[in-house]
Amino acid sequence: MLMPPFILHHPSTVDEACSIASDLIKKGEEFDWVSGGTDLLANYKWRINTKPHVISLSKIPGIDVVSNLEIGCMARLSNLEGSNVHPMIAEAAGKVASSLIRKSATLGGNLCLDTRCFWYNQSEDWRRSIEWCHKADCGTGSDCRVIPNQNTLCVATYQGDIAPVLMVLDASVHLIGPSGERVMLLSDFYQLDGMKKNVLEKGEFLLKVSLPKDSLRRVGSYQKLRVRDSWDFPEAGVAASWFEGDRNSIKVATTALESIPRIHTDEVGQIIDDGWDDQQSVKSLAGVIRKSVKPVNNTALPPNYRRSIVQVLIKRAFSQMK
C-alpha cells in the first residue's frame, strides 16, 4: 500500500523542532511527530488519521541518551536491552515486538503509542465498508463500534510495554514545545480517552524520561500476555516493583487493559492496610486489580480472558521479586 503524500521536516535541534511546530500551528496546518516510525508510518499506510506535515526527531543530536537515570526520546529499544539501564526496563524493552522492530522503535514512540482497536487498525476500504468508527470517522460523526450509542469516549486500547515499568520506578517525563518545557510523573501523563491518549498540548513532544536515584534500588518484573511470543503487542501486561523487604514500597501498574496504562496505588494501599501476608496478600491484590481493570472487546483476545489473566501475571511478577 502506497504511503500518502506529506511534507517531512528534519529539524537539527530541539529549538528548531519547536519553531517548526509553532509556525505550522500559526498557519493552521496539522502535523505529527515521528521518531522511529514503526507505529506512525504503518498507520499512514492504512490511511489512518494522516497529516499533511510530519516532523522527524531523528536528526537531533543528544536526544538518544541512555543512562540509568535518564533516557532520551530517540533511544532505540534495542539499545535498552543490555545497556546501563534498570533491569526492569531492559526486560520490558526486550519483550517489545521483534528484534528487527526494536532496532528502529524508540522509547518516546513506545510511550506515545497510538491506541489500538480492531475497528480502527484496518485499511481505509475496510473502515469505509462499516461506515467508519468514532476515532477515525472522516467527518461523518460515526458511532463507536465497541460501545455503541455513545460518541463521547473512544475506548481504543493502549498496548505499550515500557510505560508500566517506568511507572513503578517513579519515572518522570519531560515535555517540550513552543510554550517551553514541563515535567510530570509518567503516571500523570496519560489521559483516559483513546483519541486524546495523553496530556501533550499542540506542538509538544516527549523529550526524555528521568528516574529518581532510589529507583536503582527497586527490584521487580514485567510480565506480558501476547498471542504470538515472537512479536505481538501485549494483550495484558503487569509491572511490579519494591524496595526489597519493604512492603510499603510496593507498586503495581498494568497495560493493554484500558485506553491508558495505569498504576494501582489505591488497590495496593488497600491490601497493605489490611496487613500484608506474602502469598495470601499477593492473591488478594491480584483479585482486587482484576476487578478494577475494564478491558473491552477490541483486541485479539476476549476481555474476560484478558481480565482473568491479570491475576496470573501479578503472581508471576511477584514471584520474580524475591
The whole-angstrom separation of Cα 72 and Cα 92 is 17
pTM of the model: 0.96
Whether 19 is in a domain gets the answer: no
Convert 296-309 to b/e letters by CB count within 10 Å (16 or more is b). bebbebebeebbeb
Beta strands 53-56 and 7-9, pairing class: parallel
What was the pLDDT predicted at 235? 97
Q: Is residue 47 part of a domain?
A: no
Residue 274 lies in a domain: yes
How far apart are alpha carbons 235 and 299 in whole angstroms? Answer: 7
Number of folded domains that form the chain: 1
3-state SS assignment for residue 255? strand
Consecutive 10-residue averages of pLDDT for the chain (322 residues): 93 98 98 97 94 98 97 97 92 94 97 95 89 83 84 90 98 98 98 93 98 97 92 94 96 97 98 93 98 96 97 97 79
pLDDT at 202: 96
Give me the CATH number covering residue 267. Answer: 3.30.390.50
Domain that holds residue 252: 217-319
Count, residues in the chain: 322
- Residue 82 pLDDT: 77
pLDDT given at position 66: 97
Query: Within a domain: residue 112?
Result: no
60 found inside a domain = no
For residue 100, is it within any domain? no
Residue 267 lies in a domain: yes
The verdict on residue 70 lying in a domain is: no
Largest CA distance in the chain: 60
